Amino acid sequence: MALLHTPTAELESKCPDFKLPSLDGKTYTLKDFKNDHSLVVMFICNHCPYVKAIEERLIQLGHDFKSLNVNLVAICSNDGETYPDDSIENLKKNYLAKKMSFYYLHDKSQQVAKDFGAVCTPDFFVYDKDHRLAYRGRLDDSWKEANQVTKRELYEAVVSLENDQPAPKNQISSMGCSIKWLK
């Protein structure tokens, strides 16, 4: 497992377009998530211990964002053949078993991860209502222990945007396992 931290964000950059199949059997593009609200895109997977540690918080985040009309989109770009836990079949099993509360897309070619500049799981991107990058940081201040969270940084950034306020400029990078690139 290679621990990586996300690089410094290029705030205000435009959200890359994408067209990806979802675990619900549909195909989604960026246009499907245009609704005058923020858009949160997160790169996650099944096997990463960093993602596993926050999985329940991600599910809760999806519920919290639904009440704000904010779209939460997960993308798995890992090589599902070398890492079978991250195959589309196993992603779907986990998605259904956990009753995940967000869209979950599969990036088999890994082009979308490259377009975003995603480097690890989890890797979070928050876009404002104009789909301009406003936040690229960690979920909260405790990657491992939910009961030690004192600040929900990503959630607070989205609430600021939804209240027509800027996201905080001080953004602490997310950390996790490297994306498992195709060989």
Number of H helices, E strands in the chain: 4, 10
List C-alpha distances in Å: 127 to 11, 17, 134, 149: 9, 13, 5, 23
Residue 4: predicted pLDDT = 80
pLDDT, average across residues 134-159: 97
Assess whether pLDDT exceeds 70 at residue 154.
yes
Q: Considering the chain, what is the average pLDDT of its residues?
A: 96
Q: Rg for the chain (alpha carbons), in Å? A: 15
Rounded to an integer, the average pLDDT of 104-123 is 98
Residue 58 has pLDDT above 90, yes or no: yes
Model pTM greater than 0.85? Answer: yes
Q: Given this model, what pLDDT does residue 3 score?
A: 81
What is the residue extent of each domain of the chain?
3-178
The pLDDT of 40-55, averaged and rounded, is 97
Q: How many CB atoms lie within 10 A of CB 22?
A: 18
Q: In what order do the strands lie in the sheet with 39-43?
A: 103-106, 71-76, 39-43, 123-127, 133-135
CATH topology of domain 3-178: Glutaredoxin (3.40.30)
By three-state DSSP, how is residue 124 classified?
strand
Q: Which residues have a Cβ under 8 Å from the Cβ of 160 and sit 6 or more positions away?
A: 166, 167, 168
